[in-house]
Chain A
């Protein structure tokens, strides 16, 4: 059974760095072809893909946010991470992680609010 669960700070201030963790089970990021993606969704709006990390440590970022994003993984502990630097109110959203390549399993999401 594949499950994913996101965790994060809940609230942070503008200019801070957002650190998110995706803890998963039922698959391994050491398995060929497996990966984890991060997606976000502002309240009442659509989905925006942010970044992917693959079993071989290949990383891909949304070009519109690339300079602010860092994705990483801890294969031994079945975790993937996303950092977003210099956040502002536009980064307020629910953040999801999902198994890739085809987004077949998603976490429940974690709400993040950027507010002064």
Chain B
């Protein structure tokens, strides 16, 4: 299985400050179609996961452009330009290129 390694495990950020989360895969996530099936999800406290970003860098509808995704092959990054209170929760990366789909262990974003 593809192992998705997220760092840091937790992140304490003040409102208005930037945040960055890394996700590294144990093998390249470029599929046979040439597409890279790397998603970012946010699970707010007490809620189900919500997809924020798909195909590495495409924002889902309604997701503010404070969020951005980047990366290629095995190294990916989620950035929040200015953290807001609504951004708190656990962020997960998810790869869908290789069977089975695998998740990172999560990064907990907390307020400083």
Contact = CB atoms under 8 A, between A and B. Distances in A.
- By size class, the interface of chain B is 20 to 34
Given A46-B106, A102-B54, A107 B48 contact: yes
A55 interface: no
Contact of B103 (A46, A60, A102, A106): A46
Given A46-B92, A96-B48, A96-B49, A103 B41 contact: yes
Interface of A: 37, 46-49, 52, 60, 62-63, 96, 98, 101-109
Given A37-B101, A60-B100, A63-B100, A103 B48 contact: no
Contacts of B47: 108
Which of A101, A103, A104, A106 has most chain B Cβ within 10 Å?
Answer: A103
A62 B106 CA distance: 20
Q: Is the interface of B mostly helix, strand, loop or mixed?
A: loop
A97 to B, nearest CB: 10
B50 interface: yes
B94 A103 contact: yes
Q: Ordered nearest first, which 3 A-B pairs have the shortest CB separation?
A: A47-B103, A106-B48, A49-B101
B73 interface: no
Contact of B51 (A37, A60, A102): A102
A106 B100 contact: no
Given A47-B92, A60-B99, A102-B96, 9 more contacts: A46-B92, A46-B104, A47-B103, A49-B101, A49-B102, A63-B100, A102-B37, A104-B60, A107-B48
A109 B47 CA distance: 8
B39 interface: yes
Interface string B79-92: 00000000000001
Contact of B100 (A46, A47, A49, A103): A49
Which of A46, A62, A96, A108 has most chain B Cβ within 10 Å?
Answer: A46
13 contacts: A46-B92, A46-B105, A47-B94, A48-B103, A49-B100, A49-B102, A49-B103, A63-B100, A101-B96, A103-B49, A103-B51, A103-B96, A108-B48
